[in-house]
Amino acid sequence: MKYVIITGASRGLGLVVANTFAANGWSVIGTGTSPRPEQLVSETMYYQFDNSDYDAANNFWQTLKNEAGNDPVCLINNAGGYKGGKLQELKPEDYVSQMQSIYFSAVHMTRGLINNFAQAKIVNIISSTGVTPLANNSAYGPAKTAEAHFFNSLQKEYPPEQYQITNLYPDKMATSSQDNSAMEPKDIAELILDLASSEKTLYLKDAFISSLKH
Ligand SMILES: NC(=O)c1ccc[n+]([C@@H]2O[C@H](COP(=O)([O-])OP(=O)(O)OC[C@H]3O[C@@H](n4cnc5c(N)ncnc54)[C@H](OP(=O)(O)O)[C@@H]3O)[C@@H](O)[C@H]2O)c1
């Protein structure tokens, strides 16, 4: 059995990714802090906990290790809310919560994985904003930059044969954006499925994803 763990599967891109993998024969485990969403297909598992809590994350991975044994595992770090606004509109706690939900969720879920599995694929949904700063993103953007830096460091710490780490930097997606050029979550989900399923002798390390729509 091939296992995929999708953080932030209660809505948005994560929910679409979870259902896409389930439709393609993967054993799917989603996470989120809110209750299991009705739209998640019934054969998937769902764990409700705060992914930025290290102990909770590590407990989750120990439970999964008992279930998955040495079967292939793919972690998709997708969790993270968005809080935009000008510096003086944002509250000090917004800066903390963006780091928690984006950066610490990715750090602790990845540490838990590496503590328990000797080999895995890891796909990270970062954001083009993590590389190219935008106005009104002074809380969100740096959390994404920190997340990217964390995974770029891990890419140098571990050989890809052991932990194959792919960082994706999408532009706007139609999960939250009403912009007509926003990308469809199902298209990104299919791209992630291809990456996770690939048995090629190469892999994608860092990639920007842009829309063909105008
Ligand atoms: N939307 C865009 O235009 C866009 C563009 C580029 C990159 N991205 C990135 O792509 C990813 C998905 O975006 P989206 O628009 O689908 O986001 P979304 O609709 O806001 O969903 C975010 C998900 O993260 C979960 N989450 C947040 N904090 C969590 C925590 N501490 N522990 C566990 N789960 C947590 C949420 O679940 P709960 O509420 O249940 O906790 C939710 O399922 C995010 O990382 C986002 O930054 C989005």
Residues facing residue 28 across a β-bridge: 4
43 pLDDT exceeds 80?
yes
62 occurs within a structural domain: yes
34 occurs within a structural domain: yes
Instruction: Pick the residue whose CA is nearest to atom 34 on ligand 1.
Output: 32
173 occurs within a structural domain: yes
Q: Grade residue 176 by pLDDT with cuts at 50, 70 and 90.
A: confident
165 occurs within a structural domain: yes
Q: How many folded domains does the chain comprise?
A: 1
Q: Grade residue 178 by pLDDT with cuts at 50, 70 and 90.
A: confident
39 pLDDT exceeds 90?
yes
CATH number of domain containing 29: 3.40.50.720
Give me the pLDDT at residue 168, please. 98
CA dist 169 → 3, 120, 144 (Å): 24, 20, 10
60 occurs within a structural domain: yes
Give me the pLDDT at residue 114, please. 98
**Among residues of the chain, what percentage have pLDDT more than 90?**
96
Distance in Å from the first CA to the final CA of the chain: 40
Is pTM beyond 0.95? Reply is yes
* Residue of 108, 179, 172, 181 whose CA lies nearest to 140: 172
177 pLDDT exceeds 80?
no
- Output the average pLDDT for the chain: 97
Q: What is the mean pLDDT of residues 30-54?
A: 98
Q: Check pocket membership of 175 for ligand 1, CB cut-off 6 A.
A: yes
Give me the pLDDT at residue 74, please. 98
59 occurs within a structural domain: yes
Q: What is the mean pLDDT of residues 4-26?
A: 98
Q: What is the mean pLDDT of residues 152-173?
A: 97
* Residue of 147, 77, 75, 80 whose CA lies nearest to 114: 75
Say how far apart CA 187 and CA 183 lie, in whole Å: 7
Q: Which range of residues forms the domain containing residue 25? A: 3-209
50 occurs within a structural domain: yes
Strand ranges of the sheet holding 163-170, from the earlier edge strand across to the other edge: 45-48, 27-32, 3-6, 73-77, 120-125, 163-170, 206-209
Give me the pLDDT at residue 167, please. 98
214 occurs within a structural domain: no
Question: Ligand 1 pocket: which of 15, 127, 213 to mutate (most atoms <8 Å of CB)?
Answer: 127
Q: Check pocket membership of 206 for ligand 1, CB cut-off 6 A.
A: no
Q: Check pocket membership of 173 for ligand 1, CB cut-off 6 A.
A: yes
CA of 81 to the centre of ligand 1 (A): 5
